[in-house]
Chain A
């Protein structure tokens, strides 16, 4: 029995690269090892739009965070670069989203150019508005005031 418990403990810690700091019906705060984290702009040159999205892989679930509005292609890639610079030389990142909803991933979006399939081809998905990304003492948010911590920890949602 002890061996079994030890095995479970070791195996979960070995695979769990995501720590769920808070998860309520309106709010999600995760910390993830960078190997299971992906940022990507998807460009639509025909419209000049580009959408920034963040992917967190947690077992068979993809936590997906997205911007409320598109950027133009140049802006999106500049911001993507800023996030990458922020994360450079760090092992984990912390990401906060609001209004999460569980949904079945749409098979149409299993293959998205520029995003490894392990992020997009999952059994489960939780989709949220992106609120902020934190790395140690650095923070970048969709609405800048959401980085005023701890005051705006809940990123405009009711605390739970």
Chain B
């Protein structure tokens, strides 16, 4: 008899607690809904939301999809038709870090880089270094150097002159054909290797954030090639510093980028490769100092 009363008491108590809890959560849901006020019309663009850089087209957690053709399926309103979907931001798939598509990288370059022409600090020294195309990519060098420095915020950011020197040593500013390396085929002006391209987009790989998705053709394109190369150079410096447990210079980071860091001082060819980089960098630094 007593156990029947106990059971009734317990179930009543449970019901009361559940009702109480439901009320609390319902209230908090309502409160959350209330705090999410509708945006004023002027701020309805995506730029209102938090972005990790003012040049980015999309807020954190979203990526850019460029204007593309779209087939609208047949419905009650009419037959199937071809239309154009304007460029837009799209939520990152669940679990994706901040990542950049080639479309967004191209848009950023097109919209923002031209403003850097009048900023001598952002631009590399306009010295062709005796290459026919030596100054052709200065704007891309300026833009991507600035962008990644502002995103990744290193203590001692690389200068656009240094990036220009690196590209000179990699390709002489020629749109060279793919090149064998000890790290897979290297492509484009800054010689992004196949292995690098894969790591840059591997969400479960060694890169924690700021992934870049490029296919093989995109990894050759100067706009996306330089963007990816500089992103990778930052990562190589980070990795080497962790491995060596000390700060390294950008020249050392470039050696790591070229896959020759461990052979410095042990191989004449390695030392000569580094000597050329230093010579070019010094030439640019000397011109800047005199300005």
User: Are B279 and A101 closer than 8 Å at their CB atoms?
Assistant: yes
Tell me, rounded to whole Å, the shortest Cβ–Cβ distance linking A12 to chain B.
30
What is the count of residue pairs linking A and B with beta-carbon distances less than 8 angstroms? 98
State how many angstroms separate the Cβ of A50 from the closest Cβ of chain B.
8
A127 to B266, CA, bound (A): 17
Cα–Cα distance between A157 and B132 once the two chains are bound (Å): 6
Give CA–CA (A44, B273) in the complex, Å. Answer: 16
Contact A51 B270 (CB under 8 A): yes
Task: Give A44-65 as 1s and 0s: 1 = Cβ < 8 Å from B's Cβ atoms.
Answer: 1011111111000000000010
- Write out the residue numbers on chain B whose beta carbons fall within 8 Å of the beta carbon of A49: 182, 259-260, 262-263
With a CB–CB cut-off of 8 A, which chain B residues contact A71? 180-182
Which chain A residues (14-63) contact chain B, with CB distance < 8 Å?
25-26, 42, 44, 46-53
Among B173, B180, B263, the residue within 8 A (CB) of A47 is: B263
Q: A48 CA to B181 CA in the complex, in Å?
A: 12
Interface string of B258-291 (1 = CB under 8 A from A): 1110110011111111011001000000000000
A144 and B272 in contact, given A44-B266, A157-B130 (Cβ under 8 angstroms): no
For chain B, the count of residues having a C-beta within 8 Å of the partner chain is 34
Contact A64:B272 (CB < 8 A) given known A42-B267, A70-B260, A158-B130: yes
**Given known contacts A42-B267, A98-B172, A103-B275, A75 and B131 CB-to-CB distance under 8 angstroms:** no
Q: B85 contacts the other chain (Cβ, under 8 Å)?
A: no
State which residues 96-126 of A face B: CB under 8 Å: 98-99, 101, 103, 106, 109, 112
User: B191 an interface residue at 8 Å Cβ cutoff?
Assistant: yes
8 Å CB contact of B174 from A72, A106, A112, A156? A156
Question: Which residues from A are CB-within-8-Å of B132?
Answer: 156-158
- On whether the beta carbons of A70 and B268 are closer than 8 Å, the reply is no
- Is the Cβ of B272 less than 8 Å from the Cβ of A44? no
Query: A53 near B268 (CB under 8 angstroms)?
Result: yes
Q: Check B259 against A69 for contact (C-beta < 8 Å).
A: yes
Interface residues of A (CB under 8 A from B): 25-26, 42, 44, 46-53, 64, 66-72, 75, 79, 98-99, 101, 103, 106, 109, 112, 127, 129, 142-145, 156-158
With A42-B267, A70-B181, A156-B131 given, name 9 new contacts (CB 8 A): A44-B263, A52-B269, A53-B268, A66-B269, A69-B191, A70-B269, A109-B268, A143-B179, A157-B130
